Amino acid sequence: MNSARRPLISGNWKMHHHHLEALHCVEKLAFRLSKEDYARVDVSVHPPFTDMRTVQTFILAEKNVGLLLGAQHCHAADKGAFTGEVSVSMLAKLDVRYVIAGHSERRQFFGETDAGVNEKTKAILKAAMTPIVCVGETLEEREADQAVARVSTQLAAGLAGLKADAVGSLVVAYEPIWAIGTGRTATADDAQAMCSAIRSMVTAEFGPEAGLRVRIQYGGSAKAANASELLSQSDVDGLLVGGASLDADEFAKIVQAARF
Q: What is the dihedral of CA 109, 111, 112, 114, to 10 degrees?
A: 120
Rounded Cα distance between 90 and 79, Å, is 9
Q: Is 217 in the site for ligand PGA (CB under 6 A)?
A: no
Catalytic annotation present for 73: no
Nearer of residues 58 and 218 to ligand PGA, judged by Cβ: 218
Q: Which stretch binds ligand PGA (CB under 6 A): 61-69, 79-87, 175-183, 204-212?
A: 175-183
**Near ligand PGA by CB under 6 A: residue from 118, 130, 221, 226:** 221
Q: Is 241 in the site for ligand PGA (CB under 6 A)?
A: yes
Nearer of residues 67 and 224 to ligand PGA, judged by Cβ: 224
In this structure, the number of other CB atoms found within 10 A of the CB of residue 32 comes to 16
Q: Is 70 in the site for ligand PGA (CB under 6 A)?
A: no
Please check whether residue 202 is in contact with residue 166, taking contact to mean a CB–CB distance below 8 angstroms: no
Q: Is 72 in the site for ligand PGA (CB under 6 A)?
A: no
Q: Is 219 in the site for ligand PGA (CB under 6 A)?
A: yes
Catalytic annotation present for 250: no
Please check whether residue 195 is in contact with residue 235, taking contact to mean a CB–CB distance below 8 angstroms: yes
> In Å, what is the CA distance from 113 to each residue of 134, 141, 175, 235?
12, 18, 16, 26
Please check whether residue 182 is in contact with residue 136, taking contact to mean a CB–CB distance below 8 angstroms: no
Determine the size of the site formed for ligand PGA (CB under 6 A). Answer: 13
Q: Is 180 in the site for ligand PGA (CB under 6 A)?
A: yes
| Binding region for ligand PGA (CB under 6 A) | 12, 175, 180-181, 219-222, 240-244
